[in-house]
Amino acid sequence: MNTPLIDPFARAITYLRVSVTDRCDFRCKYCMAEHMTFLPKADLLTLEELDRLCSNFVELGVRKLRITGGEPLVRRGIMEFFRAMSRHLVSGALEELTLTTNGSQLKRFAGELADCGVKRVNVSLDTLDVAKFADVTRWGRLPQVLEGIAAAKAAGLRVKINAVALKGFNEDEQFSLTEWCAAEGHDLTWIEVMPMGEMGEENRLDQYWALSDLRARYAARYSVSDLTERTGGPARYVRLEETGQKIGFITPLTHNFCESCNRVRLTCTGELYMCLGQEDMADLRAPLRQSSEDAVVKAAIREAITHKPKGHDFDYSRRSVEGQMRRHMSHTGG
């Protein structure tokens, strides 16, 4: 029962992204509608249930566990879950425990995260302009996030900045954000905006800035070298020779990364999505709650992996949004 998870296209599934909450203290315009209806708290898996599910995945060969949301650090008692997961680091069964965060709560939790064996964090940060940050996040405060990033660095956590490339919003900050990351010692990854959820007044095509254009701008200013390095996720990396820093590109639209996909996503209600860009999912909450036997849970996980598709269908090339998902990113996990 503990043989590795292999999908129908011979890809080993070694990376699990776990959304522990759909709630967030920001309302970023590319991620959420301004007035969200969140899941009833009674629908969420308990921390103990999340522990049991994740532990079964680890026993089935998952080596990297990324905690996401929503904003994972707003979930009550979340550090109990990190402490529980750290036992798999100690045993050697898990190679990496990490998280993606908006940084708002990092000042409060950075030290505890480091104590749990977290070595690095991804922080979502699209602009260094106070007014623009307040606008794109609707509720966010940039100084609070910068303090959190500084606290993470002081705690010994490696910080990678994730910036969503937004046309007409942060195009003019490409180099200033890059130079700030170089000065602070942070890696930087750019992400194309994905068609996830209804955004109300926000138009996906108006937001979309192809990373092929962004990369060309780097090449006009720096000496850019391609790197073969992979960190277990979808990013492809280059090095800017003048600064020595690593820049990542996550390009689900201009150059999808499906051929090497090694990940699945677990929501806070126990839904397992085999692909971010497909609606097909498996309910793991039912077998989890129906039986105390982990063999039942493992069988449900294995069955779900047999339905993992070859790839997603995101496409903006025809000036329409193809492959759009009804669910918001915060539901599946960022």
Q: Which residues are annotated as a binding site for S-adenosyl-L-methionine?
A: 30, 70, 124, 194
Query: Are 20 and 77 within 8 A, CB to CB?
Result: no
Integer Cα distance of 65 and 85 in angstroms: 9
Integer Cα distance of 157 and 150 in angstroms: 10
* Residue list for the binding site for [4Fe-4S] cluster: 24, 28, 31, 258, 261, 275
Burial grade of 330 (CB within 10 A; 0-12, 13-18, 19 or more):
buried
* Residue list for the binding site for GTP: 17, 66, 100, 160, 263-265
Query: Are 248 and 266 within 8 A, CB to CB?
Result: no
| Amino acid at position 318, single letter | R
Percent composition of the chain: helix, strand, coil (DSSP 3-state, to 5): 35, 20, 45
* CA dihedral over 113, 114, 116, 122, signed as positive or negative: positive
- CB count in 10 Å sphere of residue 234: 22
* Residue list for the binding site: 17, 24, 28, 30-31, 66, 70, 100, 124, 160, 194, 258, 261, 263-265, 275
